[in-house]
C-alpha cells in the first residue's frame, strides 16, 4: 500500500541529545498508527515533526507526496490534540468547536451545520451552550476532538489524549474514537506509553526506543512475534526462557532449557546449537494437575507461590526450579484458586523464538 504520510531518515537533536536517529516510517491513508514507547524515546518528537512544531536537522516529512519541511503548522492541516484539553475557558462548546470556522470567516449556516455534525459524532448533543468548566473530563476531551476535526481534516494527531481520564472512561472514549476514525477513514497518529491502548486501537504499532523504531507491525505481530527482547518486555507481561536451539531428526525445532527440551512450532531458520530466548506470554501456559497426561516436550512441573484474582482471570506465579513463571488462567473456578504442585503446559503454537540469549536477544 502506498504511503500517505512518510518520514524519511528523520534526525532531530536537542544540543548533544539525539531525539530522533534516522527514523523512517510509512503510514497508509486511513490507518490508525500508534507510536508506543517509554518516556523520552522520541515518539512525541516524531509527531511534532509532522505537526510543524519542530523541524528535523536531516530527513524529510511528506504528506501525500508533498514535502512538509519548512511549512508552518497552520498550513499543514494536521491538527494535534494534547493531553491537556486546551479549550478556551471563556467560550462555549459551540464557540470552541467553531473557532477554526470563525477564523475562516465561514457563514453562520455552515458553522451551525458543521458544529451540529460534530456534536452528534461525539455524543455532545445539548451541550453546545455550556462552558468547559461545566463539562466532565470525558466531555471536554470530546470537544477537543470535535474542534480538531470540524474543518474536515483527513489527518488527526493525538498526543496521549486520554491520560487525564479515569480507567473506565478511557476505555469508553478510546472505543468511540476508534469507531469514528474507522467510519470516516481519518489517518491517525497516536502517541502513548500505554500498551493496552496501543493494542486495542491500532492498525499499525511502531515501538520506539532511544530515538529509533525497534519494530513496526500489527498489534498481533508486536505482541506474539516481537522482534527484540525490549519489544517483548515492553508490550505485555512475558516469561523469558533462555536456552539452545536443537533440530530434531524430523527437522522440527526444540529448545533445550535447563535440561528440559521444549518443542516449538514456529517456522524459523535457526540451526542447532544457536543460543536463543523463548518468549512465552502468560496466556500461552495452561495449569494442569500432576495426574493429567501431556505431550512430551510441552510441560514443566512447578509449585504455585502466589496468585492474584482479577475477576475475568487469575494470575499465578509458579516456581519451576530457579525460575518463577507468570501464568494467566481464564478458566476461573467459583470455588477459588489452585494451590500446590501443578504442571505448566506450554502452547507450542504461541512460543516465539528470539536469536541470542539475555539482553542481546533479537529476532
Residue 259, pLDDT score: 79
Neighbours of 75 (CB within 10 A): 10
* Alpha-carbon gap, residue 57 to 332, rounded angstroms: 55
Q: Is the dihedral of CA 230, 232, 234, 240 positive or negative?
A: negative
* Alpha-carbon gap, residue 241 to 277, rounded angstroms: 6
Q: What CATH homologous superfamily does 3-227 map to? A: P-loop containing nucleotide triphosphate hydrolases (3.40.50.300)
Look-up of cell digits 519542530: 54
Q: Tell me the average confidence (pLDDT) per consecutive run of 10 residues in the chain, 363 residues long.
A: 91 94 96 95 95 94 94 87 83 93 90 93 92 90 89 89 86 89 92 93 96 97 95 94 88 84 83 89 93 84 95 94 93 86 91 81 60
Q: Where are the beta strands (DSSP E) in the chain?
A: 3-14, 17-28, 32-36, 58-63, 66-67, 80-81, 155-159, 187-192, 204-209, 212-217, 239-247, 253-257, 260-264, 275-280, 285-288, 299-309, 314-320, 323-329, 341-346, 352-355
Range(s) of the chain covered by CATH 2.40.50.100: 237-360
Q: b or e along 91-128 (b: 16 or more beta carbons within 10 Å of the residue's beta carbon)?
A: ebbbbbbbbbbeeeebeeeebeebbeebbebbebeebb
Residue 215, Cβ density class (10 Å: 0-12 exposed, 13-18 middle, ≥19 buried)? buried
Residue 361, pLDDT score: 67
Angle between helices 108-121 and 137-149 (to 10 degrees): 130
Range(s) of the chain covered by CATH 3.40.50.300: 3-227
Residue 57, pLDDT score: 95
Residue 249, pLDDT score: 80
**Could you tell me the pTM of the whole model?**
0.89
Closest CA to 363 of 252, 259, 221: 221
* Alpha-carbon gap, residue 5 to 325, rounded angstroms: 42
Q: 237-360 has which fold?
A: OB fold (Dihydrolipoamide Acetyltransferase, E2P) (2.40.50)
* Alpha-carbon gap, residue 255 to 361, rounded angstroms: 15
Amino acid at each position: 500500500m502506498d504511503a500517505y504520510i512518510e518520514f524519511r531518515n528523520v534526525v532531530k537533536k536537542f544540543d548533544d541529545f539525539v531525539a530522533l536517529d534516522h527514523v523512517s516510517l510509512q503510514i497508509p491513508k486511513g490507518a490508525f498508527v500508534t507510536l508506543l514507547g517509554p518516556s523520552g524515546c522520541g515518539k512525541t518528537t516524531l509527531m511534532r515533526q509532522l505537526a510543524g512544531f519542530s523541524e528535523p536537522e536531516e530527513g524529510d516529512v511528506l504528506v501525500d507526496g508533498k514535502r512538509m519541511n519548512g511549512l508552518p503548522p497552520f498550513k499543514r492541516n494536521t491538527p494535534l490534540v494534547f493531553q491537556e484539553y486546551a479549550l478556551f475557558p471563556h467560550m462555549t462548546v459551540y464557540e470552541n468547536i467553531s473557532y477554526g470556522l470563525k477564523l475562516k470567516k465561514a457563514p453562520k449556516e455552515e458553522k451551525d451545520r458543521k458544529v451540529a455534525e460534530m456534536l452528534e459524532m461525539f455524543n455532545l448533543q445539548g451541550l453546545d451552550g455550556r462552558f468547559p468548566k461545566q463539562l466532565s473530563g470525558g466531555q471536554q476531551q470530546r470537544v477537543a476532538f470535535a474542534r480538531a476535526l470540524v474543518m474536515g481534516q483527513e489527518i488527526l494527531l493525538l498526543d496521549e489524549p486520554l491520560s487525564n481520564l479515569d480507567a473506565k472512561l478511557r476505555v469508553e472514549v478510546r472505543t468511540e474514537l476508534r469507531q469514528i476514525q474507522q467510519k470516516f477513514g481519518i489517518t491517525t497518529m497516536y502517541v502513548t506509553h500505554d500498551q493496552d491502548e496501543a493494542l486495542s486501537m491500532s492498525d499499525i504499532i511502531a515501538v520506539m526506543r532511544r530515538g529509533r523504531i525497534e519494530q513496526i507491525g500489527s498489534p498481533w505481530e508486536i505482541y506474539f512475534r516481537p522482534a527484540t527482547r525490549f519489544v517483548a518486555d515492553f508490550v505485555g507481561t512475558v516469561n523469558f526462557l533462555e536456552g539452545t536451539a536443537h533440530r530434531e531428526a524430523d527437522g522440527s525445532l526444540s529448545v533445550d532449557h535447563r535440561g528440559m527440551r521444549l518443542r516449538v512450532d514456529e517456522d524459523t531458520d535457526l540451526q542447532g546449537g544457536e543460543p536463543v530466548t523463548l518468549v512465552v506470554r502468560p496466556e500461552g501456559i495452561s495449569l494442569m494437575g500432576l495426574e493429567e497426561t501431556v505431550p512430551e516436550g510441552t510441560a514443566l512441573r512447578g509449585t504455585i507461590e502466589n496468585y492474584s484474582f482479577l475477576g475475568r482471570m487469575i494470575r499465578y506465579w509458579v516456581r519451576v526450579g530457579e525460575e518463577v513463571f507468570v501464568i494467566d488462567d481464564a478458566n476461573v473456578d467459583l470455588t477459588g484458586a489452585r494451590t500446590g504442585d501443578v504442571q505448566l503446559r506450554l502452547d507450542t503454537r504461541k512460543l516465539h523464538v528470539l536469536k541470542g540469549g539475555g539482553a542481546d536477544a533479537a529476532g
